[in-house]
Structure 1
Amino acid sequence: MWNIVSILFGSFLVGIAYNFFLIPHEVLSSGLSGVAIMFGLITPLNTGVVNLLLNLPLLVLGMIKLGKRFICYTIVSVVAISVSLYVIPIVEVSTEPILSALFGGIITGAGIGIVFRASGSSGGFDIIAMLLTKKKEFPLGSILTAMNVVVVLASGFIFSWDAALNTMIAIYATGKVVDMIHTSHVKLTLMIITAKGEEVKGKLLANLYRGVTQMNGEGAYTGEGRAVLVTVITRYQLTDVKKMIHEADPCAFVNVTQTIEVVGSFHRAS
């Protein structure tokens, strides 16, 4: 229930950012929501309706190909964002486009970061990127960046290049705030030190489609034996994995670090 409340709150923030800061100045956001804003500006359709329609086929495909819990939370976020865009009036809070792009991007990043922390996503390009990475080991960050470049170029050709530059400001601000609240790293390495090695290992292997390497360690102060588990995960799995570890061993020590590159199989290994 707390995850659902967090997702609803984060999605509401995104709706506020769009209708109060970005849309009044023809500034697009990152991802498929940016495409929805663009169609909402050049057609009579409401942006919320367009956002829902664009995400529907991806959500159906994601339900089949990706984890059901992740997609269910994403559906909640997409619907909440779409409803927020529909019911919140479009108000020009600031007459300055650059300030609007900056603050709109910051608020959008806060909302999306909250959704990420609750094990969901705001849909759109995130789902596309995750589907592509399941087929082949594409660099997720590069895929999302390339898709956002298309959004920026479309903004420049359809509206103006001032709008495109402001869109870049909004996207950059969004990414930085998401980094602060959650993490934007493509992959993360977890080192887990625990006295309940078998329980933690069993939990991870049963629920995580990733390899886990186990080593034996010893506490320098106590001299007691400890299991040291190492695994590499994606950013979307971090919240769920931390919950699994806590359920198996609330006293486990977990070190999370950014992984620059993974060579070899990123699935079942070790």
Structure 2
Amino acid sequence: MVYAKTRNEKEWKKHITALICVFIASIIMSINIKSFVRAGDLIPGGFTGLSLLIQRSANLFAGIELPYSIINISLNALPAFIGFKMIGKKFTSYSVLMIVLNSFLVDLIPVTPITYDPLLVSVFGGILNGIAIVIALYGKASSGGTDFIAVYLSNKLKKPSWNFVFGINTIILITGGFIFGFEAAMYSIIFQFVSTQVIERLHRRDHKVTLLIITKEGETIGQELLEYTHHGVTKFEGQGCYLKENKTMLYTVVGADEVKDVVHLIRELDSHVFINIMNSEGVTGNFYQEPIE
């Protein structure tokens, strides 16, 4: 009963965190579109950019003012369906909530340009866009469209794939260049590149870290790591060259977002432990990653 109650409390905390992240990310992304993207006539890539591209084209060639919300929600219907089937129901549900909330906020928030300098718009708009996506991903959600592709590929390949999606977005931007001019398209590519780099730096789930742990409590720490992280641990027995004491070295690979908690756990078990933390370029073989629900 106690375990079930604790588990339910944990699930509720996750749900509330997800909703808060979705709400904050939607506001930041909507303000960014109305303050930077519209001011610089940018096409931010992804389905957001595609929605703006369709909206501007309808206005330019047919004189029709299409609501951003209707276009964006319609375009994301198919990716959302695929997300339910191939990624996870909770993740897709939170993403759909963000898509709908962001879509209507863009229609409701007034245009409030901060600057018309195209380079400043591209750089700071890209930073805000990247931050919004990172917050959404932290809450186990996304902004939809090509983000679904990035998350799916990251789970399959076990490494970041946002630069691959940047390539897809560049095609959308070049298409926009043929219609609205290549100067706006080139600044849009800068916007998208900055956004992608922010996500790569701040979203740590897809990055791997190697830990080399030198301790006298090898058996205890090794067992605790197995249960806590579900990652494999390899044990080596040796001797310290300075004090000539018998030591155990534990070798394991964890996600970059797990390092802080794992190090805290280890230091609670052995306050004199020595840990070497190294970034891993990549891993092959079985590596447990918490599934996206």
Shorter-chain TM range is: 0.7 to 0.9
Letter in 2 for 1:31: G
Aligned pair in 2 of structure 1 residues 6, 131: CA closer, same or farther (>3 Å)?
closer
Distance 1:77 1:202 in 2: 34
Q: Which residue of 1 aligns with 2:194?
A: 173
Segments of 5+ residues of structure 2 without an aligned counterpart are 1-15, 59-64, 289-293
Structure 1 or 2, whichever has the larger Rg, is 2
Q: Which residue of 2 aligns with 1:126?
A: 147
Q: Does 1:19 align with 2:42?
A: no
Query: Secondary structure of the residue that 2:76 maps to in structure 1?
Result: helix
Q: Does 1:202 align with 2:222?
A: no
Give how far 1:61 is off.
1.6
Letter in 1 for 2:113: E
Give how far 1:244 is off.
8.2
Give how far 1:4 is off.
2.3
Distance 1:190 1:216 in 2: 15
Letter in 2 for 1:34: G
Q: Which residue of 2 aligns with 1:208?
A: none
Query: Secondary structure of the residue that 2:140 maps to in structure 1?
Result: coil
Q: Which residue of 2 aligns with 1:10?
A: 25
Give how far 1:150 is off.
0.7
Is the 8 Å Cα contact of residues 29 and 170 (structure 1) preserved in structure 2?
yes
Number of residues of Structure 1 aligned to a counterpart in Structure 2: 255
What root-mean-square deviation, in Å, do the aligned CA atoms of Structure 1 and Structure 2 show?
A: 3.8
Query: Secondary structure of the residue that 2:208 maps to in structure 1?
Result: strand
Give how far 1:76 is off.
3.3
Is the 8 Å Cα contact of residues 59 and 123 (structure 1) preserved in structure 2?
yes
The 5 Å alignment of 1:50-199 reads 50-132=71-153, 140-183=161-204, 187-191=207-211, 195-199=220-224
Letter in 2 for 1:21: F
Alignment equivalent of 2:281, drawn from 260, 265, 270: 260
Is the 8 Å Cα contact of residues 17 and 107 (structure 1) preserved in structure 2?
yes
Is the 8 Å Cα contact of residues 141 and 186 (structure 1) preserved in structure 2?
no
Distance 2:208 2:37 in 1: 32
Distance 1:158 1:72 in 2: 34
Is the 8 Å Cα contact of residues 133 and 199 (structure 2) preserved in structure 1?
yes
Give how far 1:22 is off.
0.5
Distance 1:165 1:142 in 2: 17
Give how far 1:85 is off.
1.5
Aligned pair in 2 of structure 1 residues 88, 157: CA closer, same or farther (>3 Å)?
same
Which consecutive aligned stretches of 4+ in structure 1 deviate over 4 angstroms post-superposition? Answer: 132-139, 192-196, 216-221, 223-227, 241-258
Distance 1:190 1:138 in 2: 15
Give how far 1:176 is off.
3.5
TM-score normalised by L of structure 1: 0.74
Q: Deviations over 1:185-234 (max 9, x none)?
A: 954235385954334423443xxxxx63433579979x79778352365x
Q: Which moved more, 1:246-255 or 1:173-182?
A: 246-255
Is the 8 Å Cα contact of residues 70 and 119 (structure 1) preserved in structure 2?
yes
Is the 8 Å Cα contact of residues 160 and 207 (structure 2) preserved in structure 1?
no
Distance 1:106 1:88 in 2: 20
Distance 1:53 1:164 in 2: 24
Segments of 5+ residues of structure 1 without an aligned counterpart are 206-210
Distance 1:251 1:32 in 2: 46
Distance 1:83 1:7 in 2: 14
The 5 Å alignment of 1:191-230 reads 191=211, 195-205=220-230, 212-215=232-235, 228=250, 230=252
Distance 2:40 2:70 in 1: 20
Q: Which moved more, 1:39-48 or 1:154-163?
A: 39-48
Query: Secondary structure of the residue that 1:25 maps to in structure 2?
Result: coil
TM-score normalised by L of structure 2: 0.69
Give how far 1:14 is off.
0.8
Q: Percent identity?
A: 21
Distance 2:118 2:46 in 1: 20
